[in-house]
Amino acid sequence: MSTTRARPGDPRTDGTTERAADDGADAQARPVAGVIGLGTMGGAMARHLLAAGYEVVGYDVAEAQLAALGEAGGTPVGSPSEVAERADVLILSLPSQAAFEEVVGGPDGLTAQPSSRATIAVETSTLSLESKEHGRAQLAGVSIELLDCPISGTGAQMARGDAVFYLSGDERCAAAVEPLLAACGKAVFFLGSFGNGTRMKLVANHLVTIHNASAAEALVLARCGGIDPAVALPALVAGAGDSRMLEVRGPAMVAEEYEPPTMRVRTFLKDIGIIREFARSAGCVLPVFEAAAQLHERARDAGWSEADPASVHAVIERRSPNPPARPSP
C-alpha cells in the first residue's frame, strides 16, 4: 500500500492497485477485522475481507447472518463487546440510529467494558451527525476512536466491490483502516474532519434520490412514446442522459421486478429524512430533491416499503395515461 497521503477529496485508491499491493503483505501483520451488522452491506464487507486474507470476527442480531459468516470462514460471536475483545478494527454497518445506540451503549455494547482490544471503529451507516458525534464521545471514554465513513453504493455494488467509502475523522486512524476499506470497495476518499464523510454521503444521496426518480420517469416516457423500455435502456446508458441509477436500477424498472431489494424503500426514506434536516440546517432549498423524495414516499404508501427504490417506476407508470395493468406489490 502506498503511504502517500491524499489531499481531502482525492481518491486514496482505484481498488485494483490497492488490492494488488495488499496481496503481498504479511498476513500476520494484518489487523483482525470485526464487523458488527452482517446484513446486505456488512455481510458483503465481511466476505471481501475474508477473500483478501483478513481474519474476520462478526456479530449480528439475526442468527442467519451469523451462520452465513461462519460458512464463509469468519468467526461469529455473541455480542458487540465480544467483537471488540477479539478484533483490532471494528466496522459498523447498522440499519438505524437505535441499532447504533444499542451497539455503542447497550448492556453488551462497545462501552460495556472499560477497555478492549479494538482501538478504532469505522461507522459506515447513514445516520445523523448528532448521533454519530454522541457515539464518538461515548467510545472515546473506552479509548476507541470512531471514524465517520458512510458508503456510496447499493447492496449489489458492494457485493461486487464497486462501492465508494467517504472517510473522515482522525487522519492517523484513517490511514490505518484504509487497506481494509480498499479490500471492500473501488475507492476511498478521505474528506478531513469527522462528519465530513456523512455530509458528503448526504450530498451523494441527494443525487441518488433525483437520479432514481428521473431514470424511472424516462423509462415511462419511452414506453408512453412507443419505445420498448428494454430497447430504450441501453440507448440511454450509452448516451448523454446516462446516470449510475439508470445503470443500476434501470434493469429492474424495465423488468418491473423490485424484489429482492438492493436496499428497501423504508430504509432509503430514513436517508431522505436526514438529507432534509441537513439541508434545513444548511439553509439550502432543494426543490428538485423534494419532488423526487415525494415519489419515494408514494412508493411506500402504495405498498412498496420493503421493495427496492426502483419501485418508484411503478408509481410513475400508474399515474401515466392508459398505463398497462401492473401487479400489486
Q: Do the domain assignments include residue 324?
A: no
Please indicate, yes or no, whether residues 24 and 103 belong to a single structural domain of this protein.
yes
Q: Do the domain assignments include residue 140?
A: yes
Q: What is the pLDDT of residue 116?
A: 87
Residue 208 has pLDDT above 60, yes or no: yes
Q: Do the domain assignments include residue 326?
A: no
Q: Do the domain assignments include residue 245?
A: yes
Q: Do the domain assignments include residue 21?
A: yes
The residue range of the domain holding 35 is: 16-192
Which CATH number characterizes residue 234's domain?
1.10.1040.10
Please indicate, yes or no, whether residues 179 and 222 belong to a single structural domain of this protein.
no
Q: Do the domain assignments include residue 1?
A: no
Q: What is the pLDDT of residue 175?
A: 98
Q: Do the domain assignments include residue 9?
A: no
Q: Do the domain assignments include residue 34?
A: yes
Q: How many domains does the structure of the chain reveal?
A: 2
166, 192, 218 — which closes off a domain? Answer: 192
Q: What is the pLDDT of residue 221?
A: 96
Q: What is the pLDDT of residue 191?
A: 98
Residue 206 CB partners (closer than 8 Å, separation 6+): 275, 279, 286, 289
DSSP-assigned beta bridge partners for residue 33 = 56, 89
Please indicate, yes or no, whether residues 168 and 281 belong to a single structural domain of this protein.
no
Please indicate, yes or no, whether residues 266 and 126 belong to a single structural domain of this protein.
no
| CA neighbor of 122 nearest in space, from 83, 144, 96, 148 | 148
Residue 224 has pLDDT above 70, yes or no: yes
Residue 11 has pLDDT above 80, yes or no: no
Residue 216 has pLDDT above 90, yes or no: yes
192, 210, 230 — which closes off a domain? Answer: 192
Tell me the pLDDT tens digit for each residue of 284-326: 999 999 999 999 999 999 999 999 999 999 999 999 876 554 5
Q: What is the pLDDT of residue 91?
A: 98
> Could you write out the DSSP letters of every residue in 97-137?
HHHHHHHHHSTTSTTSSS--S--EEEE-S---HHHHHHHHH
- Look up cell 455494547; give the residue: 109
Residue 1 has pLDDT above 50, yes or no: no
Which CATH number characterizes residue 160's domain?
3.40.50.720
Tell me the pLDDT tens digit for each residue of 241-268: 999 999 999 999 999 999 999 889 999 9
Confidence of residue 14 (pLDDT cuts 50, 70, 90): very low
Please indicate, yes or no, whether residues 139 and 245 belong to a single structural domain of this protein.
no
Which pTM value belongs to this model? 0.86
Residue 126 has pLDDT above 70, yes or no: yes
Residue 244 CB partners (closer than 8 Å, separation 6+): 208, 211
150, 175, 192 — which closes off a domain? Answer: 192
Please indicate, yes or no, whether residues 216 and 294 belong to a single structural domain of this protein.
yes
Please indicate, yes or no, whether residues 28 and 172 belong to a single structural domain of this protein.
yes
Q: What is the mean pLDDT of residues 180-202?
A: 98
Please indicate, yes or no, whether residues 166 and 50 belong to a single structural domain of this protein.
yes
Q: What is the pLDDT of residue 262?
A: 86
Confidence of residue 115 (pLDDT cuts 50, 70, 90): confident
Residue 26 has pLDDT above 60, yes or no: no
Tell me the pLDDT tens digit for each residue of 50-77: 999 999 999 999 999 999 999 999 999 9
Please indicate, yes or no, whether residues 90 and 234 belong to a single structural domain of this protein.
no
